[in-house]
A and B are shown apart, each in its own frame.
Chain A
């Protein structure tokens, strides 16, 4: 087991390294420079300014310099925010995105699990169809449309919540609802399928035969087994939720990482693009690793085949 973890950590480093490399070279292929007034400068003057930032060097040289800094934990200084270290930008912007992502993931999957459960227990009944339709609607309606409607109805018309901006908890409610629709729908559909399987299996029959109440069967024996595979879905979803939704952040004027990333890409802010990419990739591989480990922990078969492959 310990060897397996070591091996995975090693792969993880290699993965991150390759992602950094590929992103770096691809990013350098984007047109233009990070200069913000480049259209006002002569070619000669532009070259002088670029020289100062070391952007006239051959790309491999820039790459080695960047990787050298990375090894020392230095993500560089942003071009768009003058003199601001990328680490600071990431820390400032990650907060709201993490909070929103976490809240919506937690609430969304909780409601989703309940919906899916009801649907599975009353399979093919009216409740099943209703919950399926809610789930399908949830994953079908584009979230920016949904967010716009929420904002209009609950903030502008009813004035229950702040229209936009970021402050205390009340500011996070509407964006959380807009964001949680997707995990909710996904969890509901997943749980329904899993639970239908589980409720048809032999150990549930046994439990029923022993006279355990239906509630006990569903919650004690069924749900626990139906939940386990859900983490494979929730993992990658968690990453995408926490790394922010650019559209939602823009609609509610939230200073999050998703919007920051899009802005950085359009401004050719190379260090910030790299920093954000690495952060996303890091979260991604770590969560994948955790899921694999958790899986191995509960299912010996997976541990064996996983460990050998």
Chain B
């Protein structure tokens, strides 16, 4: 008995020590990484900023990246034809300038000859050709490639569906430093598209050498932008960006290093901020109460719009325009923005965000904000809502309507769903709104199968043109998925990419008109325009916030004094 007990204890101890060894062994790596990260902050005389990131970087492959963080770090480490500067002004990138043919279909870019990859190779026109072909090649499995290029670059649609060889893509290198792009239709916003992550160049030799391993760690990546990504693997929770001395405009870049740590809970981020570990921390609406008076409190307006989609195909009540008009006027947006979101978000009374696109030069209101020109198209107005509501009920011949609201799962979204369903049910007599909260993937599924009544939806722009918002509601639009269709609207929007494509002033007139049509039909109920509340240290200077693509631009950033 005694002996056996000892044998048991021995065995038990052995198991534990084996487990301990496993634990110790595999945990070494992350601690090394983090150690480097924090040491870096202490180095004197270097311009270092420390940030938190909301999640890991899922992909650093320009063709495969789909999310905010992927595009963020691609934009920081790489450079496309152009780069976005202050106020979304187009700045020189690898391209110095370009010419457009009279029909607006052929764009010829002149590339600089002093741009280099971080392995020393020059950045050539071929790198763009290779990268763009790769993005639409169905074998790559890219999602954003077809999304961004189909219908824009010649033959992209046919290639992405496998009906044409990739060589047919309308992009050709004319020598090493001239890139000729042929478009499907004249595209006024093509210049801003070239700043987007999917349009970044790739070094063909390097990518093919790395094969499957390409862009899975900092060793299998090449940079041609202001910074180089270091100490990163795809699952890393911390990484660093260091200045790229080989960047053609390295003299402009003032930061030596940026460190990143993944922190998902805003409270944790704020604690790190207070401890001085990081220089910027996002705030949840609850934290804003506490930090709104903090001297480092800043509100950063963004361009994503949130609105209620009203599905006209599932519930006959929502097929009625008056009912939809009533719903879009029946909830207090001011209260949502001030009390629930509480982060500087703006009330939305249209589908285009404010401070996004300005009227073009040759239009009568040149330079005025689009939102300002079209004004408030639908506001919170209980009396009007009731009027529409009663008219709608009469037309339907009923006095009770039951609707299901599919909730969003973003920040504050749960509370907002509760608030919206309560507001709608209490403001409009006879209306019962039940809330349905499902996991994100299931929501997408229900959305694309049009299996919902009301849905809180968000949309951020992918390029600098009203078209990125307004094409959502075309009759056969891929993102319409709510049964909205108005031939007049389709005609107005389609004209902007065809016969009016080269006449920017006329295009904008159409956009203005189309947005009005959209709200005469009460197709959607806008809720708010997103903003982000943050604590930002005075050390962080010169960071530009982009309206699309990479959220932050660090090329011109510098370290200010901490006090």
Residues of A within 8 A of B (CB): 30-32, 35-45, 48-49, 51-53, 77-78, 80-84, 88-89, 91-96, 98-99, 101-102, 106, 151, 155-156, 159, 163-168, 171, 224, 228, 231, 238, 242, 250-253, 255, 266-268, 290, 294, 297-298
Contacts and interface: CB of A to CB of B under 8 A. Distances in A.
B268 A253 contact: yes
Nearest to A293: B11
Interface stretch (B271-279, B296-304, B387-395, B518-526): B271-279
B5 A35 contact: no
Contact of A45 (B147, B440, B441): B147
Contacts of A267: 441
Contacts of A99: 23-24, 27
B445 A164 contact: no
Main secondary structure of the interface of B (DSSP, over half): helix
B35 A168 contact: yes
11 contacts: A36-B66, A37-B143, A45-B150, A49-B146, A52-B140, A81-B234, A88-B234, A95-B29, A164-B263, A167-B35, A255-B235
Nearest to A44: B161
Given A88-B235, A94-B26, A290-B15, A83 B212 contact: yes
A77 B61 CA distance: 15
B24 A38 contact: no
Chain A to chain B: the 3 pairs with minimum beta-carbon distance, closest first: A32-B441, A95-B26, A167-B34
A228 B16 contact: no
A82 B271 contact: no
A32 B58 contact: no
A93 B25 CA distance: 12
Interface string B15-41: 110011011111111110011001000
Contacts of A92: 26, 29-30, 233, 235
B141 A53 contact: yes
B312 interface: no
Nearest to B137: A52
A167 B445 CA distance: 39
B414 interface: no
B147 A81 contact: no
A250 B38 contact: no
B7 interface: yes
Interface stretch (B167-175, B213-221, B326-334): B213-221
B110 interface: no
A84 B236 CA distance: 12
Interface in B394-436: none
Nearest to A36: B66
A297 B235 contact: no
A82 B215 contact: yes
A48 B162 contact: yes
A35 B67 CA distance: 11
**Interface size bracket, B side:** 35 or more
A166 B271 contact: no
B275 A163 contact: yes
Nearest to B478: A42
A38 B478 CA distance: 10
Nearest to B212: A83
A38 B23 contact: no
B139 interface: yes
A242 B19 contact: yes
B263 A165 contact: yes
Contacts of B271: 151, 155-156, 163-164
Contacts of B287: none
Nearest to B5: A224
Contacts of A39: 444, 447-448, 479
Contacts of A38: 143, 444, 448
A270 B235 CA distance: 16
Contact of A231 (B12, B59, B67): B12
A297 B8 contact: yes
A167 B32 CA distance: 7
Contacts of A35: 143
Given A81-B216, A88-B234, 19 more contacts: A31-B445, A32-B441, A39-B444, A41-B146, A42-B478, A45-B147, A82-B61, A84-B233, A92-B30, A96-B27, A101-B23, A164-B268, A164-B272, A166-B34, A171-B31, A238-B19, A253-B262, A255-B30, A298-B8
B214 to A, nearest CB: 7
Interface in B135-180: 138-144, 146-147, 150, 160-162
A8 to B, nearest CB: 16
B265 interface: yes
B144 A37 contact: yes
B29 A52 contact: no
B8 to A, nearest CB: 5
Given A255-B30, A297-B4, A84 B235 contact: yes
B43 interface: no
B237 interface: yes
B98 interface: no
A290 B144 CA distance: 49
Nearest to A94: B26
Contacts of A171: 31, 34
Nearest to B481: A39
Contact of A163 (B7, B24, B277): B277
A36 B143 contact: yes
Contacts of A297: 4, 7-8, 11
A81 B235 contact: yes
Q: A37, A99, A101, A266: which has the most chain B beta carbons within 10 Å?
A: A99
A168 B212 CA distance: 32
B58 A36 contact: yes
A98 B66 contact: no
Contacts of B27: 95-96, 98-99
A98 B23 contact: yes
Contacts of A95: 23, 25-30
B510 interface: no
A101 B41 CA distance: 30
A17 B93 CA distance: 54
Contact of A294 (B11, B216, B234): B11
A82 B268 contact: no
A155 B30 CA distance: 21
Nearest to B445: A31
Contacts of B28: 95
A279 B356 CA distance: 48
A237 to B, nearest CB: 13
B139 A52 contact: yes
Contacts of A238: 19
B23 A102 contact: yes
Contacts of A43: 448
Nearest to A35: B143
A168 B12 contact: no
Contacts of A231: 12
A102 B261 contact: no
A255 B16 contact: no
Nearest to A230: B12
Nearest to B275: A163
